[in-house]
Amino acid sequence: MHCGRLRGNSRNRPFSFKMVIDFHAHFYPEKVAAKALAVCAARIPAWSDGTRSGLEASMREAGIDLAVGLTVVNAPGNSTNINAWAVRENRRPLIMTGGIHPDEPEPLRTIETVAAAGLPGIKVHPEYQHFRFDEERLFPVWERCEELGLFVVTHAGWDAMFDSPCRGTPEKLAEFHRRFPGVKLILAHLGGLAMWDDVEKYLTGLPVYLDLAMASPDYIEADRLLRIIRAHGAGRILFGTDSPWYGQKEQLGFIRSLPLSPAEQEQIFHRNAAELLRLP
Ligand SMILES: [Zn+2]
């Protein structure tokens, strides 16, 4: 375990804390990784091969010590298998989330299994899984997550793979937070990919976490990103890359190039994630 030094980038001083955590990464089982990447290739090209070993190699190259592997259940009948896979893969340097599918027959049972297996949270995706956060049929799901202390990570905003209208807008996500203020909510993509006006209007300052996946130069200017981080407070911002859909080294370099204080860097790259993951 190295000490958070970003190799190969002399512009940035070494970190003064022990561990850089990427809160938003993906990989796929060996057998399906190539296919998963090929399906998306026309709209969004990949930066690694989509396997666990590819992710770990990318982390070593970037100087990232720990990553959260976000798992999305792709069909109602697949949650048992996908969560069992996540539990098997839940070993350093990766910490896995579990998942539910909103249309599965017993999502509460699935959530209990995820919690009992020691996974820290679940990931959901309103576009990919075709649901809305204001659907009453799912309220017990969020209540159970709160009771069991599982965080809920959700995709937020536009997604290259899906056409509008978008279900997970900053406005809708703010509404969801107000309905379930006790749920530890983590909004990917800074609360709403490519919907930055609405992020600033509806989300900044609310007690929800925003991750930095895809908050990269292709999607947001550095000035605006810094303004959102400061308006929201670095205490609820999580470093994330969306690997393999963006480069970990590139995203780490971009966020490190922002004029953040050492204390803000420590929160964003390490402390906030460590607290959510209950690391010692
Ligand atoms: Zn992602």
Q: What does the pLDDT read at residue 191? A: 97
CA 11 – ligand 1 centroid, Å: 28
Cα-Cα-Cα-Cα dihedral of 176, 178, 184, 187, to 10°? 50
Q: What does the pLDDT read at residue 39? A: 76
Q: What does the pLDDT read at residue 41? A: 67
pLDDT less than 50: residues of the chain: 1-10
pLDDT in tens, 22-42: 999 999 998 888 887 777 766
Q: What does the pLDDT read at residue 13? A: 62
CB-based neighbours (< 5 A) of ligand 1, an ion: 242
Q: Which helix (H) or strand (E) holds 21?
A: strand 21-25
CA 49 – ligand 1 centroid, Å: 15
Cα-Cα-Cα-Cα dihedral of 209, 155, 111, 35, to 10°? -140
Give the HSE-up count for residue 167: Cα atoms under 13 Å, Cβ half-sphere: 15
CB neighbours (10 Å) of residue 143? 15
Which residues fall within 8 angstroms of residue 18, CB to CB, at 6 or more apart?
1, 3, 4, 65, 270
Domains of the chain with bracketed CATH? 23-276 (3.20.20.140)
